[in-house]
Amino acid sequence: MELLELKSKFEELQEKAADLKGFLQLEKKKQRVEEIERNLADSAVWNNPKKSAQLLKEKKILESDLDIGKQFNRAIDDIETYFSLIDEDPDLIKEVEQEILRFDNVLEEAETRNYLSGENDTNNAFLSIHPGAGGTESQDWAEMLLRMYLRFGEMEDYKVEIIELMAGEEAGIKSVTVKFDGEYAYGYLKQEIGVHRLVRISPFDANKRRHTSFAAVFVYPEVDDSIAIEIDTNDLRIDTYKASGKGGQHVNTTDSAVRITHLPTNIVAQCQNERSQHQNKDMAMRILRSKLYDLELRKKMKERDKMENEKGEIAWGNQIRSYVLQPYQSIKDHRTNFEIGNTQRVLDGDIFAFIKASLKRPAA
């Protein structure tokens, strides 16, 4: 970019930042943080764990928004400093361009957060992937999706943990559950719920024919202890089994993995990555609570999660997104018609543009 173009772009971004600051109501949120801190200084509040947990959660969210405002100010100050020095050192123009690009990305993510208003959008998330019919083809596609979401978690600085993984016989995975620990993990990842379709030349076909594979993605918010979910132990079937994996020393030789089935709803939660059966059972119960809470939310909203009740239909007509690698390269979201030609970038985890387009689409 030429210097005049960069200055024009910077002015545009400054206006956008000012608008976002107004929308975020940063001064009001700063006052609320101060109020919460005064409340937390009262020892009586700590005698009520539920209330103190809610206040701490609210404070964390508010401080995250306030930090966005600080990032805006730092970026503006840095870029203005570069502009003041550019006459003396014209080579700085490349660094100015990079700083403006970073500032644009910060604004982009802040703008996307404005579309997150659900009760659990700020929560951590559990994401599960299940391949459709097709054996090794679909199982390999499920593993490609797993890699994509793990890379996305790295990009967003989330703490990512694989809770359970069942490997395929030849390649790929039969199922996997991953926990994403970080701000707005559920708000972002719930946009990925649905069937994902892959079209490619199969690496498992000696005749190099084109194959279509499907895999379904499910996402649930992690439920904290402040939300009461009643679970009758008589309604649970608890099974233990040996953890599976790709092989090696990390695969358990004892029945430490735990699978819990909630009999009234037939909802299943399992965990195999912890060191002991007790720890695996604890994590499986946390996943079960999250799934049951998600079910109750859907009932209240009078929605039916058809995909969850019809897992057999991970196939044509139900996909939310198509990933075409041959004969041309394109990834298209069928809910928004948003499309990207750089398929490798997306499969490497850069899915934020799809998430933003999904959040911006009008409610059905």
Show me where the domains of the chain are located. Answer: 3-113, 125-222+308-360, 233-300
> Own/partner pairs for 335-340, CB < 8 Å, 24+ apart?
335/361, 336/360, 336/361
Question: Which architecture does CATH list for 125-222+308-360?
Answer: 2-Layer Sandwich (3.30)
Token pair recorded at residue 263: 């009999």
Crossing angle of helices 93-113 and 49-85, in 10° steps, is 150
The model's pTM:
0.75
Say what the pLDDT of residue 305 is.
44
* Residue 288 to residue 305: CA distance in whole angstroms: 17
pLDDT at 170: 86
- Of 60, 293, 349, 33, the C-alpha closest to 180 is 349
Task: Determine which helix (DSSP H) or strand (DSSP E) holds 180, and give its type and residue range.
Answer: strand 173-181
Q: What is the mean pLDDT of each run of 10 residues along the chain (364 residues)?
A: 89 92 87 94 86 85 88 93 88 91 88 82 93 88 97 95 90 94 93 94 83 93 74 91 59 76 92 88 90 79 45 62 94 96 96 93 65
pLDDT of residue 254: 67
Q: Are 129 and 173 in contact (CB under 8 A)?
A: yes
230 touches 203 (CB < 8 A) = no
pLDDT number for residue 315 = 56
Judge residue 173's burial from the number of C-beta atoms within 10 Å of its C-beta, 0-12 exposed, 13-18 middle, 19 or more buried: buried
Counting every residue written for the chain, the total comes to 364
Note the pLDDT of residue 307. 40
CATH number 3.40.50.10320 is the correct assignment for the domain at 233-300: no
- Position 268 scores a pLDDT of 93
Q: Do domains 3-113 and 233-300 have the same CATH topology?
A: no
CATH fold group of domain 3-113: Methane Monooxygenase Hydroxylase; Chain G, domain 1 (1.20.58)
